[in-house]
Amino acid sequence: MRAILVYGSVTTKTETVANLIKDELGDKLEKVVEVSEIQPEDVKEYDLLIAGIPTWDVGELEYAWQDFYDNMDGVDFSKLRIAIFGLGDQDAYADTYLDAMGILYDKFIQCGAKGGIGFVSTESHTYDESKAQRGEQFCGLALDEDNQSHMTEERVSEWCEQLIKEVWQSDEAVA
Ligand SMILES: Cc1cc2nc3c(=O)[nH]c(=O)nc-3n(C[C@H](O)[C@H](O)[C@H](O)COP(=O)(O)O)c2cc1C
C-alpha cells in the first residue's frame, strides 16, 4: 500500500493539520508534499491519496490546488483511492463552507478515483450550505481552525483511526 498526503495551504493552517496527520499515520505514509510540488501524473501511481484543501475566495479552491485541478483532465486515477480533509470557516462563510473539499473530491471521482472513505458527520458544524455535504455527512474530514480549533486534534486523531480501519485493516472499503 503506497500512500501519499498532498496539501495546499495559504496561511499554514492546512499545513499544520497535514503534520498532525503525518504524526498519527507515521510510516503508513510514504510521502507528505505540498501540492505545488507535484503533478497529477505523479499522484496517480499511488494506492491512496490523502488530500488536504482549504476553501478560499468564497467557494474557490486554494490556488495551488486550482492549478493541479486544471491539469487533472485526461489523467487516469482508477488505481487511486481518495480520502480528503478540508478547512473552512463556518461563521464567516456559512454559504460556501468547505466548498473546495467537495469540488476537489468530485473531480477525483470524475477522473476515476475511488472514494467513500473518511466521511464524517456534519453534526458538530453550523452552516447553511456546503458543496462538501453528502446527506448527513461530509465527503471527508471537516475542520474549522477559525472557530473550532479546540476540536481539531481530536477530530484528526479519530479520523486517522477511521482511515486505518477503512483502508489498512479492510479489503472492503466502499468504492
Ligand atoms: C478571503 C477568504 C476567503 C475564504 N473563503 C472561504 C469559503 O468560501 N469557505 C470556507 O469554508 N472558508 C473560507 N475561508 C476560510 C479559510 O478556508 C480558512 O481560514 C482556512 O483555515 C485557511 O487555511 P490555510 O491557512 O491552510 O490556507 C476564507 C478565508 C479568507 C481569508
Q: Number of folded domains in the chain?
A: 1
Residue 175 lies in a domain: no
pLDDT for 172 equals 56
Residue 174: pLDDT above 70?
Answer: no
Instruction: Please identify which residue in the block is written with the cell numbers 471527508.
Output: 140
Residue 174 lies in a domain: no
Contact 121, 140 (CB under 8 A): no
pLDDT digits (tens, 9 = 90+) for 117-168: 999 999 999 999 999 999 999 999 999 999 999 999 999 999 999 999 999 9
Q: Which of 11, 15, 16, 55 to mutate to test the pocket of ligand 1 (most atoms within 8 A of CB)?
A: 55
> Cα(78) to centroid of ligand 1, in Å?
30
Residue 41 lies in a domain: yes
Please name the residue whose Cα sits nearest to atom 17 of ligand 1: 88
pLDDT for 171 equals 60
pLDDT classification of 175: cutoffs 50, 70, 90 = very low
pTM, two decimal places: 0.96
For 161: left if phi > 0, alpha if psi spans -120 to 50, otherwise beta; the answer is alpha
Contact 116, 61 (CB under 8 A): no
Domain coverage including residue 136: 3-168
Q: Which of 7, 63, 93 to mutate to test the pocket of ligand 1 (most atoms within 8 A of CB)?
A: 93
> Cα(89) to centroid of ligand 1, in Å?
6
Residue 173 lies in a domain: no
Contacts of residue 56, Cβ cutoff 8 Å, sequence gap at least 6: 10, 62, 63, 100
CATH number at residue 30: 3.40.50.360
Residue 97 lies in a domain: yes
Residue 151 lies in a domain: yes
Residue 76 lies in a domain: yes
Label residues 82-120 b or e (16+ Cβ within 10 Å = b): bbbbbbbbbeebeebbbbbbbbbbebbeebebbbebbbb
169 grid coordinates: 485493516
- Rounded to 5 degrees, what are φ and ψ at 73? -60, 135
Instruction: Give the residue ranges of DSSP H helices in 10-151.
Output: 13-25, 40-43, 63-70, 99-110
pLDDT classification of 170: cutoffs 50, 70, 90 = confident
pLDDT digits (tens, 9 = 90+) for 64-110: 999 999 999 999 999 999 999 999 999 999 999 999 999 999 999 99
Residue 36 lies in a domain: yes
Degrees, nearest 5: CA angle 164-170-174: 100
pLDDT digits (tens, 9 = 90+) for 80-92: 999 999 999 999 9
